[in-house]
Amino acid sequence: MRICISLKFVIQLTLVAMLVTGCDRVKEEYYEGRSRGAIDVRSGQLKIAFVDGVKMTNFWEYTQLLQKRYAIGWLVYSLPANPRAAEAWVRGYNEVATADIYRRFGTNVLDQTLADAQ
């Protein structure tokens, strides 16, 4: 009985540690994405980030229009072992990058380009 309780306790601690570590990884990737976005913006590179495997209609048309009209590139970020962390990285990157894109071209530029691509 005592061994069974100890085993349950160890399993619970392990699960809690996994949850906490996963959350930390998400937070770390978010800030890493923001940092990378700031570096790219400072160097004059305008890009939009996407999570690897994103299903987006007219992706190629959209990214080509962004490149031709505004010299906005794109990148794909992937963490197969932790897709939530990859999403956090992309969110952090795009928060910084889109702020600069909106400042330069207006707040409707991405939505309008997406509509044009469709």
The pair phi, psi for residue 82, each rounded to 5°, is: -150, 80
Residue 54: its pLDDT value, please? Answer: 83
**Structural domain span for residue 67:** 2-117
Residue with tokens 């010299």: 71
Q: Within 10 Å of residue 93's Cβ, how many Cβ atoms?
A: 27
Residue 56: its pLDDT value, please? Answer: 85
Element (H, E) at 78: none
Residue with tokens 């044009």: 116
User: Of 77, 94, 89, which Cα lies nearest the Cα of 41?
Assistant: 94
Residue 48: its pLDDT value, please? Answer: 96
Separate counts of helices (H) and strands (E) for the chain: 4, 2
User: Could you tell me which residue, 5 or 110, shows the higher pLDDT?
Assistant: 110
Residue 80: its pLDDT value, please? Answer: 85
Residue with tokens 């990884």: 25
How many domains are there within the chain? 1
Task: Give 82's DSSP letter.
Answer: -
Q: How confident is the model over 97-105, as a mean pLDDT? A: 96
- pLDDT over 50 at 91, yes or no: yes
62-78 pLDDT, tens digit per residue, is 999 999 999 999 999 99
Residue 12: its pLDDT value, please? Answer: 54
